[in-house]
């Protein structure tokens, strides 16, 4: 069989394997990076969408309040948002706030239900200017009730408990990356507030079983998407004065900056993503090889890649998923770890039936099991998913859905080489079972949406 050599993203490294020469290599369209990203950020702040220039907003806030407090909401390290360097969003915002007389600035990490970031992680993520006097960096903690305040209910019944520090700020600024999101349609915009800054109980509706079972809660679906609607309602009730959202290309460089009022700026970024994130396909494939991308720091986050890849695989086909789990817990949080075995023990349909039952007591992070269920339902049998992660093989893989891609392989050596061996063996086995299989490789993993 004629072969072609392919390199696949593996966290911050790459892995290499050989695929059939006639395999389809599916990739995002080439989008030119901004020639002057720093200039583009400053231009967007000066001429935003739907609102006055950021400097004017700062000045007006300073007039209204003798000693105003500002909060800049940032994403955690599961999103490749540029916060430092030439493409960094933070420094221009901090400069304008300081020059406008703000002496109290909080950089608030929208962790949602994720774990809190460590000091070392924050130093690696943020510009050094964020650590100067007058700036406090705070992790949102969804389980710290004392740090939350209730501001009412949404139409769907969510009791909105939100970060107090955000609510008490005189100037509220959101930052983030807009990319496909397998529940909310796209990321960014209101998601910085909901689920980024809400209490854990707020997820009972926002990520509840009924909402997750809604087919409209899917990538690139904005209209009538219940997750997007809920997030926007919460953000509007909480108040948002200004946002800076960006889009990035496959090389993680900035392709667009969208600043201004919440809805017009976010919608403009979403419109860009709609045109830049779709990968047209003529039909489904027997075998799809993909990777968990930058976001795949653990098994919980890798569900994004599985859901997007399931769009390209035929019913009953095979998915080969490579993942470099760099988090201190390669599976995920304790609730997720505890619930995961239910997916394989009960099966997808019975699991969802229980989650939808009025007798079921909501467990945070149960939503990700439903997302895995979407992918596994397409494959038909869990073992049609071959999971290739050096951090989750052998005993560490027990209780996880799918087939351990490293079973029987010798460890040792670089993790990317072990991952490459896993992928190669899984692909060779799939082709041995079906020599004429149509094979696709999703070079961009969870960031491209096959349609």
Please tell me whether residues 243 and 144 are part of one structural domain.
yes
Segment 384-394 mean pLDDT: 97
- Between 344 and 287, the higher pLDDT residue: 287
Please tell me whether residues 109 and 165 are part of one structural domain.
yes
pLDDT band at 23 (very low <50, low <70, confident <90, very high): very high
pLDDT of res. 212? 87
Q: What is the dihedral of CA 52, 177, 84, 12, to 10 degrees?
A: -170
Chain centre distance of CA 358: 29
Q: Which two tokens stand for residue 94?
A: 């901090």
Give the domain CATH number at 22: 3.90.226.30
pLDDT of res. 206? 75
**Distances 405 to 131, 423, 438 between C-alpha atoms, Å:** 43, 7, 21
Task: Give the model confidence (pLDDT) of 132-181 as tens digits.
Answer: 988 999 999 999 999 999 999 999 888 899 999 999 999 999 999 999 99
Distance CA 85, CA 417 (A): 31
Please tell me whether residues 211 and 359 are part of one structural domain.
no
pLDDT of res. 198? 93
For residue 305, how many C-alpha atoms fall within 13 Å in the half-sphere facing its CB? 33
Best CA proximity match to 449, nearest among 273, 326, 295? 273
pLDDT at 251 over 80: no
pLDDT of res. 294? 84
Q: Which two tokens stand for residue 89?
A: 């969003």
pLDDT of res. 157? 83
Q: What are phi and psi of 315, to 5 degrees?
A: -60, 125
Task: Give the model confidence (pLDDT) of 37-80 as tens digits.
Answer: 999 999 999 999 999 999 999 999 999 999 999 999 998 887 77
Please tell me whether residues 404 and 445 are part of one structural domain.
yes
pLDDT band at 1 (very low <50, low <70, confident <90, very high): low
Please tell me whether residues 304 and 405 are part of one structural domain.
yes
Please tell me whether residues 235 and 327 are part of one structural domain.
no
Whether the CB-CB separation of 346 and 399 falls below 8 Å is answered with no
Task: Give the model confidence (pLDDT) of 330-388 as tens digits.
Answer: 999 899 999 999 998 999 999 999 999 999 998 888 989 999 999 999 999 999 999 99
Chain centre distance of CA 96: 29
Domain range for 255 is 37-276
What residues does 105 pair with on adjacent strands? 70, 135
Please tell me whether residues 234 and 219 are part of one structural domain.
yes
pLDDT of res. 13? 86
Please tell me whether residues 129 and 169 are part of one structural domain.
yes
Whether the CB-CB separation of 351 and 373 falls below 8 Å is answered with yes
Burial of 392 (0-12, 13-18, 19+ CB in 10 A): buried
Distance CA 429, CA 4 (A): 17
pLDDT at 17 over 80: yes
pLDDT of res. 258? 98
DSSP annotation of 19: E
- Which domain-ending residue is among 276, 303, 327? 276
Segment 238-260 mean pLDDT: 93
Please tell me whether residues 389 and 254 are part of one structural domain.
no
Percent of the chain topping pLDDT 70: 100
pLDDT of res. 11? 80
pTM of the model: 0.84
pLDDT band at 29 (very low <50, low <70, confident <90, very high): confident
pLDDT at 207 over 90: no
Q: Chain-wide mean pLDDT for the chain?
A: 93
pLDDT of res. 203? 77
**Domain total in the chain:** 2
């Amino acid at each position: 069989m004629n072969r072609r050599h392919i390199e696949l993203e593996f966290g911050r490294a790459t892995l290499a394997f050989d695929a059939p020469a006639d395999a389809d290599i599916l990739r995002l369209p080439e989008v030119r990076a901004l020639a002057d990203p720093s200039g583009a950020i400053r231009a967007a702040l000066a001429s935003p969408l739907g609102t006055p220039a950021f400097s004017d907003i700062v000045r007006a806030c300073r007039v209204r309040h003798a000693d105003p407090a500002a909060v800049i909401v940032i994403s955690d390290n599961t999103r490749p948002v540029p916060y430092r360097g030439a493409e960094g969003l933070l420094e221009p915002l901090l400069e304008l706030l300081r020059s406008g007389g703000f002496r109290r600035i909080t950089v608030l990490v929208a962790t949602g239900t994720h774990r809190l970031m460590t000091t070392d992680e924050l130093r690696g993520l943020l510009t050094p200017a964020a650590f100067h006097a007058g700036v406090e960096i705070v992790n949102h903690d969804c389980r710290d009730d004392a740090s939350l305040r209730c501001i009412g209910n949404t139409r769907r019944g969510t009791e909105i408990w939100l970060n107090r520090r955000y609510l008490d700020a005189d100037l509220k600024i959101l930052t983030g990356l807009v990319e496909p999101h397998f529940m909310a349609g796209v990321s960014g915009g209101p998601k910085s507030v909901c689920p980024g800054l809400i209490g854990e109980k707020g997820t009972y509706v926002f990520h509840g079983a009924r909402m997750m079972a809604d087919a409209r809660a899917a990538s690139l679906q904005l209209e009538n998407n219940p997750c997007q609607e809920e997030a926007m309602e919460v953000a509007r009730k909480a108040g948002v004065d200004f946002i800076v959202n960006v889009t990035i290309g496959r090389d993680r460089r900035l392709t667009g900056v969208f600043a201004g009022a919440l809805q017009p700026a976010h919608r403009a970024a979403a419109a860009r993503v709609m045109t830049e994130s779709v990968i047209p396909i003529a039909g489904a494939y027997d075998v799809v090889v993909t990777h968990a991308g930058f976001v795949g720091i653990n098994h919980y986050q890798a569900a994004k890649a599985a859901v997007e890849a399931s769009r390209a695989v035929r019913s009953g086909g095979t998915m080969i998923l490579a993942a470099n789990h760099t988090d201190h817990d390669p599976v995920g949080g304790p609730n997720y770890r505890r619930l995961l075995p239910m997916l394989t023990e009960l099966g997808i349909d019975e699991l969802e039936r229980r989650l939808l039952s009025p007798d079921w007591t909501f467990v945070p992070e149960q939503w990700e099991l439903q997302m895995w269920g979407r992918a596994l339902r397409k494959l038909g049998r869990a073992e049609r998913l071959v999971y290739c992660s050096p951090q989750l093989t052998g005993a560490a893989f027990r209780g996880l859905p799918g087939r351990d891609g490293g079973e029987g392989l010798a460890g040792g050596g670089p993790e990317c080489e072990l991952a490459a061996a896993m992928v190669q063996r899984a692909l060779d086995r799939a082709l041995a079972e079906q020599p004429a299989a149509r094979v696709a490789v999703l070079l961009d993993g969870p960031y491209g949406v096959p349609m």
